Amino acid sequence: MTTGIVAAAVAILTWVFVEALGHYYPSPATWRKLRRVRGRRHVRRMRERFAEAGERRSGRKLALVLIALVAIWVGASGWLDKKWYEVVADAAPSLVVLLSLLRLPASLRAIAARMIEYERAAGEDPDEPLSEEGGDGPEVLAL
């Protein structure tokens, strides 16, 4: 019983984290600090990685595997000496994690879109490739 409550709490915290990340990260101040500390090129590459990860289908495939495991678990409830609704209650945290996995790509795409807007507000063209010569980060300041 206690492990089920802890699992449910952790699953809900995971879901809340994914949703909050998609709605609030990065703030304009965080974005400016990242650019100041790491440089434009690194922050641009981070944005591109968020966008690439948001387009991948691996989260959906993993969610499909998880839903299949939950279905097998519920189907095997007769062998577990439990009623099917008790097994569903035990599997509920897994379903919340499944929801988090399905929402993660949308959150990553929202982060990338927010960073594009910050770049536009800073007067840059987000689609223009960065030049390789002439650094702009802390390594230039260190020289």
Domain of residue 20: give its range. Answer: 2-121
| pTM of structure | 0.75
Domain count, the chain: 1
Full pLDDT tens readout for the chain, 143 residues: 677 788 888 889 999 999 998 899 989 999 999 999 988 888 899 999 999 988 888 878 888 888 888 888 878 877 877 777 777 788 888 888 888 888 889 999 999 999 999 998 988 877 787 766 555 555 555 54
Residue 109 included in any domain: yes
Residue 10 included in any domain: yes
Residue 44 included in any domain: yes
C-beta separation of 62 from 94 below 8 A:
no
Vertex 109 angle, CA 105 and 114, to 5°: 150
